[in-house]
Each structure stands twice: as C-alpha cells, then as structure tokens.
Amino acid sequence: MIGLKGTLNVIDNSGALLVECVNVLKNKVNNGWGSVGDEIVCVVKRARAISAAQQASATAVKVRRGDVRRAVIVRTAKAVRRPDGRLVKFDDNAAVLLNNKREMLGTRIGGVVSADLRMKGWGKIVSLAPKVV
Amino acid sequence: MKVEIDSFSGYRIYPSKGRLFVRGDSKIFRFATSKNESLFLQRKNPRKIAWTQVYRRMHKKGITEEVAKKRSRRTVKHQRGIVGADLASIIARRNQTAQARNEARQAAIAKAKSEKREKEKDKATNKPKAPRGPAGAPKISRQQMKGSKGGR
C-alpha cells in the first residue's frame, strides 16, 4: 500500500537510495494505493554520491537528489495475496527505478523481490533479481 | 500441494492458511496463525513457549511411543580373500583337521630329510675323503636329532 508520501528503498544500482512516492500511475485519482508491480512517479530523496570522474563518463545513468523518476514497486510491507490464497509480506517497501518507457535505469538488482512482478509483466526485473519469493 | 510447517510452533500450514514473512535478510518465515506471528515479532523464544513443537521436543514430551535412539548398528564381518591366498584356500586351511595337519607336517619332515640326504650324498661324492670323516659324524647326529623330534 504505497501512496503519496510513501518512501521506498531503491534496490538497483541506479544511484538512488530512497525515493518518495508522488503519484500512483494506475489510479485516476490521487488518493489510491500502489502495490507490488505498480508503476509510480517518485522523487529521489537520497542518492549515492557521484564523483566528478563518473559525472563525465558516458554511462551517466546515475540519478541525483531531487530527480523525478518513475519506479515499479517490488516489495511491500503490506501483505499481498497469491492465487493459492497465501499472504506474502516483506520487511520493507522497495522499488526499482525506470525511465518513461518502462525500462530499467539500473543494471543490477540487489535483494529479494516479490514473485507477483512476473504476473504483472515485469519479467525482466524478475530475471535479474538474485532471489524471488 | 505442499503442507508447510510453521517456523515458530511447528504446526502444519495447509494451503491458503497463514502468512509468509520475508525478513530483511531474505530469510523466510511461515506462520500458521496470527498468534504465532505476533509472538515471533515480539521476539519470543519458541524454546520457552510450552505449546510449541520445539519446546516439546526439547523437554521430551509425548515421545514414549518412539523409543529414542535404537542402537542396532552391528557391522557384519565378511570373509574376504587377499592377494596371497584366495577365499577357497583360507577356508581349506581353516577346516583342515589336526590329523591332516600332522600328516602334512610328517610328510614335510620326511621330504626335508630325504632332500638333505641327497645333498649329503652329492657333497660326499664331490669332496675328498679326509674332511668327510669328522664332518659326517656330527651331521648324522643332527639328522638323528631332527628325526627324534619329528618321530616323538
């Protein structure tokens, strides 16, 4: 249940650490909730420091603090129901940053992701993840 | 369909029951009921909660039917032949009666005696007569000794 002002950890190597949700894209209204596999618009609240050398490099996919990006939710602390009736919940909320074309910004994922992503069509993320539950 | 077990109490979790919790370190915990879940999150030790399987196993409750640790591990020794003597010859040797062994010994002694006598004869014909006299006497006596021992 991620909504406005909800914070998520970023688990890819795009450079951001913490993002804050600004809008949940599947809802036409502002007061909706996002769950695993939903796209959100978010603001980067904390990011990894980028050295000057890296700034000039070609692979400058690193995001900065204050950037507005899109992301997909991969873990929620609120339990999600599976088709067999099980409920799965994680310890924290996490997301993976995307660009406007639903492509990942980072290249690697560190941490476990929810298997519900596969059902919502994010197979690329699931395949990159080290562990899927 | 797989029936899981509860990570706290050891109860069985049937499909569509209970919850699955993934901790920050990616370790998975399954809970059958909110009671188990709540106690786990309060960081209670299941070993001290009297109704959990862990506690019951630790305090050996209700295990009288299955006697703990039946020791029936006796290794069976198999007779094996070795490089020098195959299994058949080992068994033959073992089953040889005392009489047979005695007879074999006698035969061996007689054989040795006859062989030695042959050797003496050869030596006598080859060597000159002088050393033969004194050499012959002790030799015969030794043979006699050997013979007496074997004859008994």
| Interchain CB contact of B84 with A (< 8 Å) | no
Instruction: State the pLDDT at residue B89.
Output: 80
Under a CB-based contact definition with an 8 Å cutoff, are residues A84 and A103 in contact? no
CATH code assigned to B4-58: 2.30.170.20
Distance from CA of B50 to the nearest CA of A (A): 27
B145 residue type, one letter: M
Mean pLDDT, contiguous 10-residue spans, chain A (133 residues) = 94 93 89 93 91 61 89 95 93 94 92 93 93 93
Instruction: State the pLDDT at residue B79.
Output: 76
Which residues of B fall within a CB distance of 8 Å from A81? Answer: none
Instruction: State the pLDDT at residue A112.
Output: 94
Q: Domain map of chain B by residue range? A: 4-58
Alpha-carbon gap, residue A35 to A78, rounded angstroms: 8
Which residues of A fall within a CB distance of 8 Å from B23? Answer: 91
Nearest residue, CB atoms, A86 vs list B16, B22, B23 = B16
Under a CB-based contact definition with an 8 Å cutoff, are residues A117 and A125 in contact? yes
pLDDT digit of tens for each residue in chain B (152 aa)? 899 999 999 999 999 999 999 999 999 999 999 999 999 999 999 999 999 999 999 998 987 766 656 666 777 788 777 777 777 887 777 777 777 788 888 888 999 999 999 988 888 877 655 555 454 455 556 666 666 555 55
Instruction: State the pLDDT at residue A83.
Output: 92
| Interchain CB contact of B15 with A (< 8 Å) | yes
Instruction: State the pLDDT at residue B97.
Output: 76
Structure tokens belonging to residue A80? 């999600």
CA dihedral of A25, A111, A43, A63, whole degrees rounded to 10: -120
Question: Is there a contact between B19 and A84 if contact means CB atoms under 8 Å apart?
Answer: no
Distance from CA of A72 to the nearest CA of B (A): 19
Which residues of A fall within a CB distance of 8 Å from B16? Answer: 84-86
Q: Which CATH architecture has domain A7-132?
A: Beta Barrel (2.40)
Instruction: State the pLDDT at residue B103.
Output: 86
Q: Domain map of chain A by residue range? A: 7-132
Nearest Cα to Cα of residue A15 among A110, A90, A103: A110
| Interchain CB contact of B47 with A (< 8 Å) | no
| Interchain CB contact of B41 with A (< 8 Å) | no
